[in-house]
Chains A and B, each alone.
Chain A
Amino acid sequence: MRLLLALIGLLALQSAAAGQIIEPAGSRNDKFRERLDIGISTNEIAISSDFAGAGITVFGAIDDVDELLLQIGAYDVVVALEGPMRTTTVRRKERVAGIWVNRHSISFEPIPASYSMSSTRPLENIASPMDLSSRDIGINNIRLAPSGGLGDGSLLGDFRDALRRIKRSSGLYQRVPDGVEFISKSLFRASVFLPANIPVGLHKVRAVLYKNGEYVMETSLPLRVVKTGLEQFTYNFAHQYSFAYGIVSVLLALVTGWLASVVFRKD
């Protein structure tokens, strides 16, 4: 644990943004005495508008680790960066009278807008599918509960698959099956990726510890993602003072058009 804190201190110094470390919270399985702790150097990430995606590193440590079991790889860690919860609608086009039209749609209860996962091994080797799905661990286990009236239940499976497929192809959902590595006895490093189109808002870094396929405990830290720069200012202006923004847009158009007619006047 001391080593972990030292590392975090080092990271904070390097980034020159000394964010405070928030005490993690989580549930645990009392059968085991191991403890899982994670740390990130900052609780806020400011990204500029030309952000093209980046990796962040999460450090963690397992206390009271059984070294023999660690050496044979009995411990597994899953680290996921879960984006803000958003209600999401999936629509499907169908051919109607020769043209492609949105026909069916299903809305889902809030799901993480982004999900970036990294683990010591592929998930199917870590724990049973039932255990993973009950804890919403992994892209295929994120709970996708339809909200409101569901016209034709037989479509649900296809729509869930499509949602996961589109989220993955747009880079919002991704996984690295070997992104967590132990760098010393009990100390590990996890790389999770922030995609270029990462949604702003409150994200959650969630880490789960398994021992021989059994759940030990999990812990999480909040991570706020904010965008900076002129573009973000414009976005906020447009949403918070939309009337003034509309007026400014019109004035800009009037001035541009008028200036051109003055500059290019022939006489």
Chain B
Amino acid sequence: MTIYLPIAELSVNILVILGMGGAVGFLSGMFGVGGGFLITPLLIFYNIPPAVAVATGANQVVASSISGALTHFRRGTLDLKLGTMLLIGGLLGASAGIQIFVYLRKLGQLDLIISLLYVVFLGSIGGLMLWESVRSMRRTAANKQVSLRKPGQHNWVHRLPLKMRFKRSKLYLSVIPVIVLGFCIGVLTSVMGVGGGFIMVPAMIYLLRIPTNVVIGTSLFQIIFVTAFTTIVQATTNYSVDIVLGGLLMIAGVIGAQYGLRVGQKMRGEQLRAGLALLVLAVGIRLAYGLIAPPAEIYSVITGSFGY
């Protein structure tokens, strides 16, 4: 059963796309991640032009993040002021990212840079997560106390100027690292098609020392607006958002996420993190192989939009 994607300009198997969306949705529900960093590489493996995969990935993250964002908003488990600062950085970063995207595409290096960024990020994040979860699994086996956050400890980030009081987080913190973090995530959203939660959440906890109870809500607040903004800008500058592809991924994704959520609640944290780490590493290795393996055709022809 095939369906024609009007923007990617190719026919795909509808069941493969739904399966992909459902599986990534399931995993994102189970591990509490947005799933953009899995969707985009999978689409590239399935021969969707990387430009379309990235833009559509950003659009898909909007759908997978909204329900979580609404929940946190209702419960008030977010720091609106901190979120707004992150968002300012995020919108600036997304705008810069689109310029980078357009420039790389003109140079013919967009596909390469997207793959390289994924290899670097998936490799390092996956590696770190695996190391951390294995260590904490060992510790629990040895019956030792696990503490993720050491309160009261300060680092160089807390000596920067332009400090601002964030009441909800009970923090007196410089806005510079907040805006810089938001900016970097914004660039990643537009160049890689990810929400960026997998980098933002650890950075907020370990670097900015933001209390864990507001971290998820605040990062989702930033992600929703930045991915929505990126979707619109990608649609207007690169015409690369495929609404048919995105719609299929979203529908399968949000349903898969509900089941993943239930399974995730029954599993233990370290095991979940180790599982996710292995998955992230596997996707990264597959992408790295694609860069190293000799291509079947070293020439490529570009006519108009995305080539073939």
A contact residues vs B (CB 8 Å cutoff): 49-50, 86-95, 98-102, 105, 113, 159, 162-163, 165-167, 170, 197, 199, 231-232, 234-235, 238-239, 242-243, 245-250, 252-254, 256-261, 264
A200 to chain B, nearest CB (A): 10
Contact: B247 with A252, CB < 8 Å?
yes
Contact: A234 with B298, CB < 8 Å?
no
Chain B residues closer than 8 Å to A248, beta-carbon distance: 243
Contact: B112 with A256, CB < 8 Å?
no
Chain B residues closer than 8 Å to A95, beta-carbon distance: 294
Which stretch (B122-130, B145-153, B249-257, B275-283) binds chain A? B249-257
B24 to chain A, nearest CB (A): 14
Contact: B257 with A260, CB < 8 Å?
yes
Contact: A99 with B292, CB < 8 Å?
yes
A100 to chain B, nearest CB (A): 6
User: Interface extent on B, as a size class?
Assistant: 35 or more
Q: Which of the residues A90, A197, A242, A254 comes within 8 Å of B66, measured between beta carbons?
A: A254
- How many residue pairs bridge A and B at CB < 8 Å? 161
Contact: B4 with A231, CB < 8 Å?
yes
SS of A interface (majority): helix
25 contacts between A and B (CB under 8 A): A50-B11, A86-B304, A90-B302, A91-B299, A99-B291, A100-B291, A162-B299, A166-B297, A167-B301, A232-B6, A234-B7, A235-B9, A238-B241, A239-B239, A243-B235, A243-B236, A246-B233, A248-B243, A250-B59, A250-B228, A253-B63, A253-B250, A254-B228, A257-B65, A260-B255
Which one of B239, B258, B295, B301 has the greatest number of beta carbons of chain A within 10 Å?
A: B301
Within 8 Å of chain A (Cβ to Cβ): is B303? yes
Q: Which of the residues B7, B294, B303 comes within 8 Å of A88, measured between beta carbons?
A: B303
Chain B residue with Cβ nearest A51: B4
Contact: B63 with A238, CB < 8 Å?
no
B141 to chain A, nearest CB (A): 34
> Per-residue CB proximity of B22-63 to A under 8 Å, as 1/0?
000000000000000000000000000000000000011011
Contact: B246 with A253, CB < 8 Å?
yes
Contact: A238 with B6, CB < 8 Å?
yes
Contact: B234 with A89, CB < 8 Å?
no
Contact: B298 with A252, CB < 8 Å?
no
